[in-house]
Every structure is written in structure tokens, then in C-alpha cells.
Structure 1
Amino acid sequence: MWVHLVSLASTQPLHDPSVRTVIQTSARVAYVATCSSLCWGVFLSTGWISRITGRTAMRKSHATLAVLAIALAGIHAALFLFLDNKNVRFHLATVTIPLSDGGKWRWALGIVGLEIMIAIMISSALQRLFVYRRWLHVHWLSYPAVAAIVVHAWLGAAANGHLATLWLAGLTVLVPTAAIVILRFVPASFLATVGLLTEEPYSHDKQELAITHSHVLTRTAMTISVDNQRCHLYGVCQAEAPNLFELTPGGRLHYVSHVIDEHTDQAKAAARACPMRAIHLSGERPV
């Protein structure tokens, strides 16, 4: 694909106004799609709008927005091969390797942000091959990636004289995105205290949110139970105790009900971290 674009670029007239228009349009739409994808990802991980739509639909919507943002950003970068800048001629290395061929820092931010997003997309497609905790850590790179892309977009707008045009529209998208991301890392107990999050149980779709047990035969001093009505399937328990909890792609939570001694610390960590306090630990031996 890149070779084909390079060959086409060599035959196209320079400074094509229509190409510049597509570059600007793709950048702006990619900016909106990137921020929207990040917001939707926060909604998915926290379950804040799970009452509106099912978890599966939310996951697919998040993936669609992410792919759209990456595709538009890729088009934005590739079309620079068709232009002849006054100071630098864009080559394949210029749009793929940060700071190469006289590249600027603002270009490097966009390249790094896009390539991180591509890596996250690939890791999501291969999620089954990763330990969940490691995959989650890779996915968290989306926050600095989006930050780099946003800075790249604003610096590019300022350098090309479009800052006034993007000021209102850019802030309209950026402010709610930043607010949602900040709220993502605020403790759930505080959000519940100020009324931004309710911990009241609500009914779930049984097929989507069914919780099943995985039993072991050995007797242990600790048992786990999960309140089906309170569990929002955030997946925090899996991140804290991957040996005890597993959230399947189909929206089902599997967990070990009888904890062996070496996993008791993980069980306690999962119970403490659960934002809905849906995990209950018992010190009595099972009968």
C-alpha cells in the first residue's frame, strides 16, 4: 500500500489544493473520532452508561470509533506524500519515523500517537494470546497516545494558521473528553458521594451478565461470592486477581469460589478494588 502511494505521489502535481483539503478534513474528523473513542472506552471500562445499551454493543461501538480514528489518521499521514512542502519533501520515512528527514517535533507527536494506537488495535485483536493484566497495561497507553495526538493537532493548527478556526470546535470536543478521563481515575466512592455515580443495584440482562462459578475440590479457609445484582463487569477484579477472576468476551464473569492459600492476597485486593463492592469474602471453611 505504501509503495503504491509513493509511486502515485511522484506522478501527482504538487500543492494540489484538493489534497490539502482532504488532509485537513481527515485530520479534523480523526481528532473528533479519537476523542470520542477515548470517551466511549472510559464508559465501557466503568459501565457508567451500561443502562443505555448492552456491554457488547458498547464494546463494538468503541472498536468502531477506534478503527475509524486510526484509518482517518492514516489517510491524513499518507496524503502528505502527495505534497511538496516548502522546507521538506515528505517521504515514507518522514511520515512513519519520528524526527527523520528533518521532521519536526509536532509531527513526531502525531506519528508516535498513531503508531501506539495501531499497536493497541493489534493487541486487542490478539487479546486471547495475552495475560489480561498485560493486555490492560498496553491498552492504558491509549491515554498518552491520545494526548500526543491532541497536542499534535493543536500545534499543527497553530503552525498552519487554522487555530482560530479550530479553537471553538477543538475545545468543544477536548473539554468533555478531558473531564471524562479525569473522572475515570477518581475513586468510585467519591463519585457516589457527590452524586455522579450510583451504587444502587439494578437488573441486568441475564444472558449477558450471567455469573458462573468454578469450583475446586480442595478445602480452604477463604471463599468468594459475587453479588450478581451489584456486579457491573468492570473487570477490575480480573486485573487484581487474574488467577481467580476471568471476564470473558461474551460478558460473563468466571471466578474461583474456594481460594487456595497462595491466592488469598489477590482475593483481598480484588475485593478492595471492586468499585461496586460486589465481591464478598468469607473466612469460614466450606461444608
Structure 2
Amino acid sequence: MQDPQHGVYLVVTAVGFSALAMLWLGLVAGLVLRDGRAIDRIRPATLASLHRTAVSCGLTLAVVHALGQLAVPSSEVRVIDLLIPFLHERTQFGVGLGVVGLDLMFMVAGSVALRRFAGYTRWRFVHRLGYLAFALLLGHVCAVGAGTYHVAVIGPIVVIGAGTIALGLATAGWVSRLPHRVRDLLAEGRWGRRVAVHVDATRCVHFGFCQHEAPDLFELRDDGRLDHASTARANQIDAAIRAARACPTRAILLSRRAGRVVFANPGQDEDEVPSPPGGSEEGSGEHAVA
């Protein structure tokens, strides 16, 4: 007859792998939402909902996995081991990585509630710690499972997880935009020009980060509509670019003239982007938030 403790161990382990899979799905959804290239095929609200739901389910399963270790006598996990990292006697390093990674992931998730108070720049810095948290959880799987699971189980998990983290860091928006920003600064004399401001209502999802970065150019009204200036003066260009970069759905387009773009949507050739509708040098625009 099979040992009941072994059955509990298998259930707890399965819950742990399920938690890792859901956190990975949430990470991928966040990467797709940030990159913006799939926005035309998938609604931003759908991606954001998938991101939140997957991470929430992953964190819940991770807590169940951690508490379930208390019911497995062979794991020798104590309550204090789940609160203070690196105290477990047998697998001190592996369990410690899991505790630190889970605590960090909860901190990243909790920061979402404070993003409007902290501002997009600070919140984005904290939110990017999710990459580190996921890497620590991968290290937990490797360290704890090295002597338990077959390499055929651990290998693909580590490769897929590490590849996802590397892809997220390699596709960071500021990396791909830096050459274009330097070229524009040197060749076009951007600082002495006015910049036209256009907001794509089909992409905007009412996050309000643009207003925080450039309150003189953007105002999110209580009725769910966004007022924005149609042009940014030379001393407002920095704020306009910060607002465009802060928009997670890349709904803000800044252009100097037809065919020349200061900040465009990812994957769009800046020589093919038309000037924003209207074309007036002064005034304000308004659109309903999707």
C-alpha cells in the first residue's frame, strides 16, 4: 500500500509547479502588454486582466504550496522557516530562495495599489523587481529539486523561465529607443521645436500615468474622458516624452511634422507615421477613454 505521506508530498509538489506556471503566464502577459506590439490583436484590458489574474492565482497557489510543506513530515519545514529565510536545516539555501522570492513577489503585487500615489517611475522600478522574484523562485526549484526531480523535469522549467526573464530585459523599451533618441537629438535639434500630441482612444485604458508625468498636457476627468493639449512647447517636450513612455499601452504619439516622430508605438516605422489629426499648433484635444 502506498504511503499516505507520499501522496501528500505529490499534491504539494504539483501545487508548487502549478504556482510557478501561473506566475510565468502572468510574467509573459505583462511582457506582451508592456511591449505593445500585440495591442492591435489583443485588447490591452484583456492582457491586463490576464496578467493580474494569473499572478493572483500563482501567488495563492504558492502560499498553499508553502503551507502544505508543514503537512509533509519528510520536508522538516517549520513555521519559522516560512517567515525567516535560510533557517531550514536540511535545504537551507533552496527554501530560503523560495521564501525571499515569494516575499518579493508579494511586495511587487502590493505595489500596484500604490502606483498612483508613488508615480509611474517609482512604481515601474518596484514592479520590475518581479523579474528578480521570479528568478529566485526558479532558483528555489533548482536548489530544492536538484536531488529529487529528474533533469527532464527541471531542465525545461529552468530554460523556459530563464529565457522569459532574459527576453523581458532584452526587449526593454529604453534599449530599443536609445539610438533613435540620440539620432534625433543630434540631427534634428528637437529641443527648439513644438511637438504635436495625439492620443489613440482605442489604446488608452484609463491608467492616468500620463497626467502624473505631464499634468500641464494631460488631464483625466472624473467622467472617464482625457483632455490633452494638441501641442507641447519646447519646455514641455521632456514631460510629454515621459508621459508617452509611461503609457503602458503606448497610446500617446508625439510628432514634429508629417513622417517624423519623436515617440511612436513599438514596431512602427517612424518614417511612415502620419502626423496627428488636426494639425493645429495650439489648442486641446479630447477623447473618451476606452
* Mapped contact 2:244–2:251 kept (Cα < 8 A): no
Alpha-carbon spacing, 1:253–1:133, altered in 2? closer, same or farther (3 Å): farther
* Mapped contact 2:195–2:255 kept (Cα < 8 A): yes
| Superposition pairs of residues 191-206 of structure 1, within 5 angstroms | none
Once residues 54 and 252 of structure 1 are traced to their aligned partners in structure 2, the CA distance between those partners, rounded to angstroms, is: 19
Match of residue 21 from structure 1: 10
Match of residue 68 from structure 1: 57
Once residues 271 and 42 of structure 1 are traced to their aligned partners in structure 2, the CA distance between those partners, rounded to angstroms, is: 18
Once residues 29 and 271 of structure 1 are traced to their aligned partners in structure 2, the CA distance between those partners, rounded to angstroms, is: 36
Match of residue 117 from structure 1: 105
Task: Give the alignment partner of residue 213 of structure 2, picking from 217, 224, 241.
Answer: 241
Once residues 231 and 51 of structure 2 are traced to their aligned partners in structure 1, the CA distance between those partners, rounded to angstroms, is: 35
Task: Give the alignment partner of residue 86 of structure 2, picking from 95, 99, 113.
Answer: 99
Once residues 117 and 273 of structure 1 are traced to their aligned partners in structure 2, the CA distance between those partners, rounded to angstroms, is: 22
* Mapped contact 2:195–2:237 kept (Cα < 8 A): no
Is there any run of 5+ residues in structure 2 with no aligned partner, and where?
A: 181-191, 258-279, 284-290
Match of residue 70 from structure 2: 81
Deviations 1:186-224 (A, max 9, x none): 64469x9xxxxxxxxxxxxxxxxxxxxxxxxxxxx9765
| Superposition pairs of residues 1-287 of structure 1, within 5 angstroms | 16-85=5-74, 89-100=76-87, 102=89, 104-160=92-148, 162-171=149-158, 173-174=160-161, 176-178=163-165, 180-185=167-172, 187-188=175-176, 225-228=196-199, 238=210, 241-243=213-215, 244-245=217-218, 255-257=228-230, 263-267=236-240, 278-280=253-255, 286=282
* Mapped contact 2:93–2:143 kept (Cα < 8 A): no
Once residues 140 and 196 of structure 2 are traced to their aligned partners in structure 1, the CA distance between those partners, rounded to angstroms, is: 47
Once residues 251 and 28 of structure 1 are traced to their aligned partners in structure 2, the CA distance between those partners, rounded to angstroms, is: 41
Q: Which amino acid is the alignment partner of residue 85 of structure 2?
A: P
Match of residue 209 from structure 1: none
Alpha-carbon spacing, 1:247–1:104, altered in 2? closer, same or farther (3 Å): farther
Once residues 154 and 143 of structure 1 are traced to their aligned partners in structure 2, the CA distance between those partners, rounded to angstroms, is: 17
Q: Describe the SS at the equivalent of 2:255.
A: strand
Alpha-carbon spacing, 1:93–1:227, altered in 2? closer, same or farther (3 Å): same
Q: Describe the SS at the equivalent of 1:49.
A: coil
Percent identity, aligned pairs only, is: 23
Provide TM-score, normalisation by structure 1: 0.66
Q: CA deviation at 1:61?
A: 0.6
Alpha-carbon spacing, 1:22–1:253, altered in 2? closer, same or farther (3 Å): farther
Q: Which amino acid is the alignment partner of residue 280 of structure 1?
A: S
Alpha-carbon spacing, 1:232–1:281, altered in 2? closer, same or farther (3 Å): farther
Q: Which amino acid is the alignment partner of residue 226 of structure 1?
A: V
Q: Which amino acid is the alignment partner of residue 149 of structure 1?
A: L
Compute the RMSD of aligned alpha carbons: 4.3
Q: Which amino acid is the alignment partner of residue 267 of structure 1?
A: A
Q: Describe the SS at the equivalent of 1:18.
A: helix
How many residues are matched? 241
